[in-house]
Amino acid sequence: MRIELLDEVVACSADFRGGQITPLRFWRGERELDVAQVHARWLDRSHKHPQFYFSAETSTGDVYELRLDSGRMLWRLQSVLLDG
């Protein structure tokens, strides 16, 4: 396994029901990636607007760290842990 740092802006589809954010799928360029499981979620309140983080495994087995900047409503891919 290896980690790649990304820091990429991405489009993301998410569920906001029940007062909890759950990423469902995101796009890296033309490639659509479905989130198979969210392993962890955490909140960083040290910024002006809260930053929501997610450890999300895709159907490929890769685990991405996603961040939602609540001030700009902008999703970013922080890194990926590649399986294999």
Facing residues of 13 across strands? 25
Between the alpha carbon of residue 3 and those of residues 35, 39, 50, 71, the distances in Å are 18, 16, 25, 28
Structure confidence at residue 56 (pLDDT): 97
AA identity, residue 39: H
Domain boundaries, the chain: 2-82
List of the chain residues with pLDDT < 50: none
Structure confidence at residue 8 (pLDDT): 96
Q: Could you give the 3-state DSSP secondary structure of residue 25?
A: strand
Q: Which residue has the tokens 């969210």?
A: 38
Extract the tokens encoding 53. Answer: 């983080």
User: How do residues 6-24 score in pLDDT, each as one tens digit?
Assistant: 999 999 999 999 989 999 9
Structure confidence at residue 55 (pLDDT): 98
Structure confidence at residue 84 (pLDDT): 64
